[in-house]
Structure 1
Amino acid sequence: MADVEHTIGLLLGTEDDWPRAYEALLRRLGVITGPDGRTHRTVTERVTIEPFNLRDKPRHDLVIDRLAYWYYHPREWLKKIALMDDVYLLNSPFTFQSMEKHAAYCAMMRLGLKVPETVLVPYKNPLDNSRYAYTSERYNKSFDLDATAEQVGYPLFMKPYDGGAWVGVTRIRNSDELHAAYDASGERLMHLQASVEDYEVFARSLTIGPETMVMKFRPEQPMHARYEVDHGFLTADVGQEVVTISRLVNAFFRWEFNSCESLVRGTDVHPIDYANACPDVAVTSLHYYFPWAMSALLRWTVFCVVTDRRPRLDTDTARYFAIGDSAMPYADKLVEYRRLADEYFDVERYEEFCAKHLAHIDGIVYDWVTSEEFRSLLRETVRATYPVHEHEKFLGHFGGLIDAWIRDHS
């Protein structure tokens, strides 16, 4: 029997593949001895949605949230357990507004990142609010959409300020496409953002705690083929910059489970989307990279609960802005940002903990991925995701990619 038992809550929406994987791996991990000399067991519980008294004490030490970005009732529960009970959350519920892209663009522009030129335009259609007509008549300034787009420059993208999964994103080459997209936007608030033309690489980086995997991304492909397995598509310097930007964003906003999209042109890294409250970790998307994601999630969550890592709700923006507002060269700013991010994630202590107490996780994950339990999970996920006539094709596709991971890690 463990001296200490920790409970991790899973606040979930429709996904079932990675939660089952995480639960299975945590069971296989079992008991570990922590730095305090005591044994620790970590268990999971899927969180249900129900009335809650604000003075109730939660059972959870940590919660992985994949739901509250759109479902407000559990979001308020997360705020309550963070404020009143010090439950550790991988993504702060108090910076969710920044997940709607706009604040994230603003903050990273001030820090000097190479964010493309971006303009926020008013709603096309009136809001469903009785005060809108009066306010609009008095204060909404008429504007020239064409002139605004010309300032940004064609081609450009019209993107929802609160979007996700590429919904509502439109590439615009001329005035006709601009007006058609704006008319179709309705009550959605939209950004116009300059396109980074002739880029060489679209990099998508998934960061979990202090670990980052940078993957070659092909947005024009169907979801199962967007992540290309390529281990040398960035130079060492550019790869380090992508990692630093990813961790900077997360440390700045207190996000610990987030993805970042960057376009690389020459030696310039242009981050275009780095606010994802529910980053894609599906086995049918990540495939080859799925075992890494589960390993990183396992390591970081166990580290947090066993070491009693304290949540940081304050964002401490002044330290970052002092660097961003300074005259130091961009490369030096990146060094300082990485230092602040590493400090927030307690990288040195994390690496020492993993080396001493979790060194066997890679072996646990390898044994699980090569087991029938994993193959069963993969089969069930494919059957739940694709129509019957495509099952054989996709089982072969994903099975082959997982086999490649097994060969590379054997």
Structure 2
Amino acid sequence: EVPYYRAMLKRMALEGTYVINNPFWWSADDKFFNYSLAAKLGVAIPKTVLLPQHSYIPDIVSESLRNLEFPLDWQGIVDYVGFPAFLKPHDGGGWKMVSKIHSLEQLWYQYNQTGTRCMVLQEAIDYDKFVRCYCVGQKKVLIMPYDPTKPYLSGQQYVQIENYLEPELAQRVESDVIKICQALGYDINTVEFAIKDGVPYAIDFMNPAPDAELASVGEYNHNWFVNAVTDLVFEKLSKEIPQPEYRWISLLNGVNAVEKKKVGTKKSSSKKTSNASKKASSTSRKKSKSSIEDLSTNQEVKTRTARG
């Protein structure tokens, strides 16, 4: 959130400095893209819809958004996502501007407060268990029982419960964490899962500067993270570090791997994904008219009030 640091890190990367995490990708990343990527990788996610902004800067005129539809098909959106749901920024963090929505009227009210922020509406999973996972070096994973209902950074969210997940479920969570972080290219990240009926739904995994404060995460989690990052740094220093290839195609190795697997196969990849993943991939489906690529014409370009 300090633009000066991000700009300087990019400059240092240009001169050959290895930066943890990649400052170019961090600048380009956003949550809606993350959900779309996870679905493509076969990771279960909640049903999610990208919403056009409520308001626009003065220089945006009607012709600028002639490929958008107005009014939105609000009923179609909520029929797909369901209630309760979360309205949140498509690229935010730290639980800022996040609202839990229980009705269409409440959705309209909260949406009307969002101004120029682009938002997503996401299914709220009525979870049985919730975990937050550190991932360091795209291979070391610590699964932490987590209570998202407690105040953020309060020190009450992280709880110590032995054998919180069954071995098979823990293995799936760890596998999904590594798969996501390798695809995104993050050396350090946290991934959150809401677990319902044995299915871990990836909720939040755009955390390249994760909370590791001792007072917040607790001594055990803090020490694990510090030790894992220390090992990562010394591992990087112990061998020649290849200069990263700062091009978009090279930053999506996880997607490239998926595409390569498709080559030569006769069956559609959609048959190989789980039912939950199929539904999750509908973040960009044609039926959801709120996605930019699916919206048609005639959106009024004015600060407006959501209505049916």
TM range (shorter): 0.7 to 0.9
Residue 328 of structure 1 and its aligned partner are, at CA, apart by 7.6
- Residues 328, 147 of structure 1: alpha-carbon distance in 2 compared, 3 angstrom cutoff: closer
Q: 1:299 aligns with which of 193, 208, 231?
A: 231
Which residue is equivalent to 2:165? 234
- Residues 192, 323 of structure 1: alpha-carbon distance in 2 compared, 3 angstrom cutoff: farther
Partners in 2 of 1:120 and 1:326 — Cα distance? Answer: 24
1:80-138: CA deviation from partner (whole Å, max 9, x where unpaired): 332x332112222222255321211111111121111111011112x2241344424x4
Which residue is equivalent to 1:404? none
The percentage of counterpart residues that share the same residue type is: 23
* Structure 2 unpaired stretches of 5+: 263-267, 275-308
Secondary structure (helix, strand or coil) at the match of 2:86 reads strand
Which residue is equivalent to 2:78? 149
Contact 1:112 1:330 survives alignment (8 Å):
yes
1:50-75: CA deviation from partner (whole Å, max 9, x where unpaired): xxxxxxxxxxxxxxxxxxxx333332
Q: Compute the RMSD of aligned alpha carbons.
A: 2.1
Q: 1:268 aligns with which of 191, 195, 199?
A: 199
User: 2:68 is matched by which residue type in structure 1?
Assistant: N
User: 2:86 is matched by which residue type in structure 1?
Assistant: F
Which residue is equivalent to 1:216? 145
User: 1:227 is matched by which residue type in structure 2?
Assistant: Y
Within the alignment, does 1:205 sit opposite 2:126 as a pair? no
Residue 228 of structure 1 and its aligned partner are, at CA, apart by 0.3
User: 1:301 is matched by which residue type in structure 2?
Assistant: V
Within the alignment, does 1:104 sit opposite 2:34 as a pair? yes
Within the alignment, does 1:250 sit opposite 2:250 as a pair? no
The equivalences for 1:1-400 within 5 A come to: 70-82=1-13, 84-97=14-27, 99-125=29-55, 127-136=56-65, 138-142=66-70, 143-197=72-126, 199-209=127-137, 210-222=139-151, 223-288=154-219, 289-313=221-245, 314-315=250-251, 316=253, 317-323=255-261, 326=269, 329=272
Residue 330 of structure 1 and its aligned partner are, at CA, apart by 5.2
Partners in 2 of 1:276 and 1:135 — Cα distance? Answer: 33
Residue 164 of structure 1 and its aligned partner are, at CA, apart by 0.5
Residue 329 of structure 1 and its aligned partner are, at CA, apart by 4.6
User: 2:230 is matched by which residue type in structure 1?
Assistant: L
Contact 1:281 1:293 survives alignment (8 Å):
yes
Secondary structure (helix, strand or coil) at the match of 2:183 reads helix
Contact 1:97 1:103 survives alignment (8 Å):
no
Which residue is equivalent to 1:348? none
Q: Radius of gyration: which is bigger?
A: 1
Normalised to the residue count of structure 1, the TM-score between the two structures is 0.59
- Residues 237, 185 of structure 1: alpha-carbon distance in 2 compared, 3 angstrom cutoff: same
Which residue is equivalent to 1:40? none
* 101-110 vs 316-325, which moves further: 316-325
User: 1:294 is matched by which residue type in structure 2?
Assistant: V
User: 1:123 is matched by which residue type in structure 2?
Assistant: Q
* Structure 1 unpaired stretches of 5+: 1-69, 332-410
Greater length-normalized contact order (CA 8 Å, ≥ 6 residues apart): 2
1:354-377: CA deviation from partner (whole Å, max 9, x where unpaired): xxxxxxxxxxxxxxxxxxxxxxxx
- Residues 187, 80 of structure 1: alpha-carbon distance in 2 compared, 3 angstrom cutoff: same
Partners in 2 of 1:179 and 1:154 — Cα distance? Answer: 14
User: 2:74 is matched by which residue type in structure 1?
Assistant: L
Residue 157 of structure 1 and its aligned partner are, at CA, apart by 1.1
Partners in 2 of 1:77 and 1:230 — Cα distance? Answer: 41
Partners in 1 of 2:160 and 2:259 — Cα distance? Answer: 36
User: 1:218 is matched by which residue type in structure 2?
Assistant: D
Partners in 2 of 1:217 and 1:237 — Cα distance? Answer: 19
Query: How many residue pairs end up in the alignment?
Result: 258
Residue 294 of structure 1 and its aligned partner are, at CA, apart by 0.8
Contact 2:47 2:80 survives alignment (8 Å):
no
- Residues 132, 91 of structure 1: alpha-carbon distance in 2 compared, 3 angstrom cutoff: farther
Contact 1:102 1:161 survives alignment (8 Å):
yes
Partners in 2 of 1:97 and 1:191 — Cα distance? Answer: 19
User: 1:191 is matched by which residue type in structure 2?
Assistant: V
Partners in 2 of 1:322 and 1:240 — Cα distance? Answer: 25
Which residue is equivalent to 1:64? none
User: 1:253 is matched by which residue type in structure 2?
Assistant: L
User: 1:141 is matched by which residue type in structure 2?
Assistant: E
- Residues 132, 78 of structure 1: alpha-carbon distance in 2 compared, 3 angstrom cutoff: farther
User: 1:104 is matched by which residue type in structure 2?
Assistant: N
Residue 287 of structure 1 and its aligned partner are, at CA, apart by 1.2
- Residues 238, 109 of structure 1: alpha-carbon distance in 2 compared, 3 angstrom cutoff: same
Partners in 1 of 2:54 and 2:227 — Cα distance? Answer: 45
Contact 1:206 1:213 survives alignment (8 Å):
yes
